[in-house]
Structure 1
Amino acid sequence: MTGDVNILSPVLGGVSIGCWIVVYSPQIIENYQLKSGEGLSVLFVLVWLLGDLCNLFGAILAGLLPTVIILASYYTICDIILLLQIYFYRWDKKRRHSPDGVTEDSPLLDRHHHEDNVNHSRRRIYTLFAQYSGALILVCASGVISWWISTRSDIGGGTPQQPAEPKASEMTIQLFGWTSAILYRE
């Protein structure tokens, strides 16, 4: 039984990291596809960026595991990408002045093509289901593969990484941790 737990723990850890990594992906991809960041609150993303920066600095100062620092860096980069998308697409929309004739008063649905829209919606649902299923399989597979590689490579050696020594006082580290937790709650 102990051997199973020793295998299951790093596999589930890898799956967990994979899940945390793909959290932002759908939003960033959707913004890119729609060429819009209008559905996002700038204040919300700024608060999360501040929280992620506190999390990153706290992790570095505490000498946490490299995977924690890499994940915090990734989230910070994603926050910045979201902000860039919001402002770039707003700027681009103003620059183009809506050349296709669509205005805020234009109807959202074209009644003449309702049947085509329904069929398109069904295909879109099937496509999304396939994409999300594929992402879930990929995340789970990445957990298993990362465990397998870590047990067979000289880099991982099959043993957990050791955290570094803290680079700041306990109070400073706690301040960053609590600040990030409060910002995430807002």
Structure 2
Amino acid sequence: MPPGGTLSVEKIPETKAWPRGQRELTNVNYTPWRKLCFEQSNAKTVCRTTISASTQETGTEIIRIDLVQDKDGPGALLQVIVLPGQLLIAGVSFTVDENETIKLPFNWCFANACIAAVPVDPRFIQTLKTGRKVKLETVDPALLTVTATLPLDKFGGVNEGPATQMFGESLESK
């Protein structure tokens, strides 16, 4: 900068202006909803009601949704795991049916996955239990909104039912 000159800083545009188009994930297989519970040493049980999506071509898991709940607690943590390479500042948009969209910020990224998570209340959990589908949206490196639609029809029964699989503190299946 020349002496006496001014520094000009451009403002970063809002995230809603970034996407340049949209694409729907296709050729994807979904696991059934399942409930995995973990017994901790303090006699608490934490359960994760989960579904994942993988590519038909390679079987690579590309999405996982977890609702993590203390068995005796009212609230929960909603967690979405996606492949790395998404626009981190955009986070993940999570919409149940036609309800209000929740924005999940990315909390961690590793070499093989990025995790977005937010706490949710019992009202939101009820929305999941009565919902038909969830729409996830991320923004990819080409600045396209990537949309995936996952089924919710079995979520309520699985979430309220017994564990599909129990693990002890050592993470060995019981």
TM superposition score category, shorter chain reference: under 0.3
Which one has more relative contact order, counting CA pairs under 8 Å at least 6 apart? 1
Q: Which has the larger radius of gyration?
A: 1
With normalisation by structure 1, the TM-score equals 0.19
Q: Which has more helix, going by share of residues?
A: 1
